[in-house]
Amino acid sequence: MGQIITLTAPSGAGKSTILGRLNSKKLFTFSVSVTTRAPREGEEDGVDYYFVSEEKFHSLLSEGKFLETAIVHGNFYGTLFSEVDQILSTDATLLLELNPEGASNAKAYYPTSVAIMILPPSYELLSERLKGRATDSVQVVQKRLSAARGEIKWGIDNADYFIINAQLDQAVEDFENIINIIKCKHSVFVENNKKYLEELTNIM
Ligand code: ADP
Ligand code: 5GP
């Protein structure tokens, strides 16, 4: 069975930017979530999210298709069982991008999951980056900023690893190092390397 890593960050902390840099390295597999949020410029249906109407979201929900769901900044988001189960049946490392509520639910469902949080260097820089991204209205930016403090407090109580995204290159390197360390953790390593360890020892 694969390993689940949850990634949580206040909006604007740089999650998409860091993941974009790591994409080609094949460090982990993504699960594509369902959302009722409108696509941002450059986002693709089925790649960044499955973009659906609220009606469709609720029909998936009533069919029991979701491992977890959350309302984030007024939009619905959900992780599909079908995505997660298919990936976990292999030895892949699965990265789930979740808000705090979703990350707590994933931990309750998969206690061996590991939680990473990305932090901005300061609240002021978070605000600048969110405004500079220019993908959201002033009201949406305000909503995201006021949620940030609570999200960070959740991280202080729940995250296993933190990354401060000050210099992008350093943050990307830190992220990569954390993923590699998680893969070497006893429970993850033994679970993911059963055949290899069996051959090495012939006793497992
Ligand atoms: P998130 O996915 O966490 O909401 P983004 O990756 O969209 O955040 O980043 C928010 C904005 O901050 C983007 O405009 C991005 O280019 C910028 N950004 C991300 N990381 C850095 C960094 N280390 N230094 C300066 N700007 C950054
Ligand atoms: P965005 O709209 O900026 O892509 O994401 C907003 C927030 O929703 C982020 O904190 C992101 O991690 C979270 N999110 C994205 N997909 C899911 C999901 O499937 N479930 C939950 N709980 N949160 C999600």
For the chain, domains (ranges, CATH) are 1-29+92-204 (3.40.50.300), 31-91 (3.30.63.10)
| Residue 143, ligand 2, Cβ within 6 A | no
Side chain identity at 25, as an amino acid letter? K
HEC sequence for 104-159: HHHHHHCCCCEEEEEECCCHHHHHHHHHHHCCCCHHHHHHHHHHHHHHHHHHHHHC
The CB density around residue 190, as the number of other CB atoms within 10 Å, is 11
Does the beta carbon of 98 lie inside 6 Å of ligand 2?
A: yes
**What pLDDT is attached to residue 136?**
81
Does the pLDDT at position 188 exceed 90? no
**Residue 79 in contact with ligand 2 by CB distance below 6 A:** yes
Model's pTM, two decimal places? 0.90
Write the pLDDT tens digit of every residue in 44-96.
999 999 999 999 999 999 999 999 999 988 899 999 999 998 888 887 889 99
pLDDT surpassing 70 at residue 198: yes
* Ligand nearest to the Cα of 50, by number: 2
Q: Is the CB of 117 under 6 A from ligand 2?
A: no
Q: Which ligand is nearest to the CA of 37?
A: 2
Q: What distance lies between CA 175 and its chain's CA centroid?
A: 12
